[in-house]
A and B are shown apart, each in its own frame.
Chain A
Amino acid sequence: MNQPIVEPLLDGQQDRHSRVLEGQDYHRLTEQICGIVERPVPRWWWPAFLTSLTTASGALFAAAYLISTGVGVWGENQPVGWAFDITNFVFWVGIGHAGTLISAILFLLRQKWRTSINRFAEAMTLFAVACAGVYPLIHVGRVWMAWFLAPVPNANAIWPNFRSPLLWDVFAVSTYATVSLLFWYVGMIPDLASLRDRAVTRPRQVIYGILALGWRGSGQHWHHYEIAYLLLAGLATPLVVSVHTIVSFDFATSVIPGWHTTIFPPYFVAGAIFSGFAMVLTLMIPARELFGLKDLVTDQHLDKMAKVLLATSLMVGYAYGVELFTAWYSVNLYERFAFQNRLFGPLAWGYAIMVLCNVAFPQLLWLQRVRGSVWALFVISILVNVGMWFERFVIIVGSLERDFLPSSWGQFIPTWVDLLQMVGVFGLFSTLMLLFLRFLPMVALSEVKATLPTRPSDFKAGYAVDEREHVASRVKEVRVS
Chain B
Amino acid sequence: MKTRKNEIWAAYQKEIADDHYFFARSCIRQNFFPAAENLYINILRNELGKDIFDDARQTTCTGIAYHSGIIPFETIMTVVARQFSLMNEAGYENFVASCVTSFGIYIEVMDTWKHFPETEQKTREALKRATGKTFKIPKNLVHASDVIYKFRKEIAAKAKFRLINQNTREPLKVVDHIGCHYAKIFPQEGIGGAEYPYVLAGLIDEWGGKQVDYPERRHCCGFGFRQYLLKSNRGYSVSNSKKKFDSMQTFKPDLIIANCPGCTFFLDRWQYVIAEMEGKTYGEDGYGIPVLTYEELAGLLLGYDPWDIGLQTHQVTVEPLLDKLGIVYDPEKKYKGRNGEDIGIPENPQVLRCC
Same complex origin of A and B: no
Q: Could you list which residues of chain A lie within 8 angstroms of chain B, going by C-beta atoms?
A: none
Q: Could you list which residues of chain B lie within 8 angstroms of chain A, going by C-beta atoms?
A: none
